[in-house]
Amino acid sequence: MLPRKRGVDAGEVQDLHNKAPRPAAPAPAQDDPMAARAPEIDEDLHSRQLAVYGRETMKRLFGSNVLVSGLQGLGAEIAKNLVLAGVKSVTLHDDGKVDLWDLSSNFFLSEKDVGQNRAQACVPKLQELNNAVIISTITGDLTKEQLSNFQAVVFTDISIEKAVEFDDYCHSHQPPIAFIKSEVRGLFGSVFCDFGPEFTVLDVDGEEPHTGIVASISNDNPALVSCVDDERLEFQDGDLVIFSEVHGMTELNDGKPRKIKSARPYSFTLEEDTTSYGTYIRGGIVTQVKPPKVLKFKTLKEAIKEPGEFLMSDFSKFDRPPLLHLAFQALDKFRTELLRFPIAGSADDAQKLIDFAISINESLGESKVEETDKKLLQHFASGSRAVLNPMAAMFGGIVGQEVVKACSGKFHPLYQFFYFDSVESLPVEPLEASDLKPENSRYDAQISVFGAKLQKKLEQSKIFMVGSGALGCEFLKNLALMGISCSENGKLTVTDDDVIEKSNLSRQFLFRDWNIGQPKSTVAATAAMAINPKLHVEALQNRASPETENVFNDAFWESLDAVVNALDNVTARMYIDSRCVYFQKPLLESGTLGAKCNTQMVIPHLTENYGASRDPPEKQAPMCTVHSFPHNIDHCLTWARSEFEGLLEKTPTEVNAFLSNPSGYATAARTAGDAQARDQLERVIECLDRDKCETFQDCITWDST
């Protein structure tokens, strides 16, 4: 559940272009034939996505072909997210070779991959995430004509000149091809989206339509509608609503959307004259109508000159996006003219980039930036070669979600530029150029931003991570790539009392189908050590609670440098928070729910702790808790419903699929993962052999057992 307040393998694969025809346009209508041709959705694997996206959106996603160009850390994160989401195909493009700098951000790569083509080196481990997705590579130059094979194309390392050429082609193509350009440069990142001249958003926010139960409707102009006061209405001025089951004033039951205004907690006025309507008697349900929204995107060539409003993520930096818009253009000019990145710590290179930025700014006329922050541009220039894992992970999630929006039409897309920086993450004391020099290690990219001294502190840190599910897998990967707890004096302790289920595989990417039934913490720790063999990690299966304080005792807590929460319930969060407060340890707290997320950094004596403010009650139980530790009536009811559906709906459906087409079923079983195929076959065998029902009485007997 989401706590807290929201803010926001081996071998070359044949080119995809000879295999996959281009499907229909992005964001097709619900009766789109492409959606009908999409493969059946494995509900056990994609249950969480189905709950967020819906079946029609998932079918559109399953029919989409996507190109990811540039397989440094950012490209790898985007590809990982798309493969887990289950698009039809992902084509990787990169003509560069793996070097040591890539190992601090691309978790698919290792030292043995140095010198190989980046795209080809990523294929084996990427394919393990989802065998149903076609993964292929392009290792040479990319032409704009090749883009016609895709619904969406993503570029993570491309010049502005080339990006303009590709975007113009995508924008004018029929149907338009969604174009995304994203970069991560040190502690700075950017995203640009162009989904075509007219892009239809079918569902702006993905939320269920708000409803209310009518208590009274006046015969007036405008009419006043009052609702029962047991739950506040969530309507806003301008919303469209429809009425149903109204007795008396039946004229409102015509299904016509009507606009509301003056929305209050339990009432609103209707922009309609009801004086001539029947008198309201009783009943009635009012439901929000969510009309589609059409967005008209500018091309990159147009938008870079007139960017319009930037998406803000930090209102304390409201003047930052225009400056970063200049900075990324200046870096592009620097790379074009000097054929390299600025050297970390070089004052001369930083000054060159600043001069480029000032020159570009002067050419903007009235829309130029009033003041250029030279210190910020120096930081930008110094770390611009580095692709840092935390930044790549963050932007990989954002861009992956934008691709889903482009292919499905669900959720409002990013419109059109987004810039972000985390310059406050730099050490307080000034960094010397000598401290930023590469050491010929896998951490060189990180050293070029934070310095060698901080890198050594990270390697010696002692961290406690509670939980190794969806967030836990991401955190473990990030910690391993950053080198945290990777020296002899460092140690990472991870604990989780849950085991791996099939539904985990669509988002907990450190697990594979052959790990089903195994402890999450053990498998996740082993996978993290494969990413960075120097990681010192201990995996436990203990629940962190008052009952296990003999394991996580005072000496254990005193030894820690920081704590990371990757939990799914408030009770456990409150307990860990209380221990961190008692022992004065920093705590990284976070949570996700569908497409929403939050994070909170708790620093002793500096910020409020997690328990200082309370969350609203949980509306639904976390599924991993339901399946493993149902300890209240809501958990037990949810568990019983899940078991009922599995036995009386999913199993008969599986058997009927086999009986209707045995050969096709067998073919599908061969191509499925081992655990998936075994699970399905066991269901079929159980119904047709071990528990076969010959008579109606047999059915009654089977059902009662």
Q: What is the CA radius of gyration of the chain?
A: 27
Q: What is the β-pairing status of strands 178-185 and 152-155? A: parallel
Answer whether 154's CB lies under 8 Å from 78's CB. yes
Question: In 363-493, which ranges are continuous DSSP H helix?
Answer: 374-382, 389-408, 444-450, 452-459, 470-482
Q: How far apart are CA 276 and CA 146, in angstroms?
A: 62
C-alpha count within 13 angstroms, C-beta hemisphere, residue 85 = 36
Tell me the sheet residues that pair with 267: 226
Q: Which of 241, 233, 195, 192 is nearest to 215 (CA)?
A: 233
Q: How many CB atoms lie within 10 A of CB 365?
A: 7
Q: Residue ranges of the alpha helices (H) in 97-140?
A: 118-128
Contacts for 84 with CB less than 8 Å, ≥ 6 apart = 129, 130, 506, 507, 509
Strand partners, 571: none
Phi, psi of 258 (to 5 degrees): -130, 145
Q: How far apart are the first and last CA of the chain?
A: 34
User: Closest Cα partner for 420 from 310, 273, 547, 584?
Assistant: 310
**Exposed/middle/buried for residue 371 (C-beta within 10 Å: 0-12, 13-18, 19+):** exposed
In the block, tokens 């328990």 appear at 611
How far is C-alpha 223 from the chain's CA centre?
Answer: 43
CA angle 512, 517, 519 (to 5 degrees): 85
Element (H, E) at 297: none
Which amino acid appears at position 512 of this protein?
Answer: R
Rounded to an integer, what distance in angstroms lies between the CA atom of residue 591 and that of residue 587? 13
Cα 358 to Cα 241, 337, 355, 627: the distances in Å are 51, 16, 5, 59
Could you give the strand order of the β-sheet that contains 152-155, starting from the edge strand earlier in sequence? 134-138, 89-93, 65-69, 152-155, 178-185, 188-194, 417-421
Q: Among 624, 636, 687, 693, which one carries the catalytic annotation?
A: 624
What phi and psi, each to the nearest 5 degrees, are found at residue 645?
A: -65, -40
Residue 473 among the catalytic residues: no
In DSSP terms, which residues pair with 224 in a beta bridge?
269
**C-alpha span between 601 and 580 (Å, rounded):** 12
Tokens of 203: 């569902």
DSSP per-residue codes, 298-350 = PPHHHHTTS--SPBPS-GGGTTHHHHHHHHHHHHHHHHHHHSSPPPTT-HHHH
Task: Give start and end residues of each alpha helix (H) in 554-695.
Answer: 554-558, 570-583, 623-628, 633-645, 651-660, 662-671, 674-685
DSSP structure string for 40-100: PP-TTTSHHHHHHH-HHHHHHHHT-EEEEE--SHHHHHHHHHHHHHT-SEEEEE---B--G
Active site residues: 624
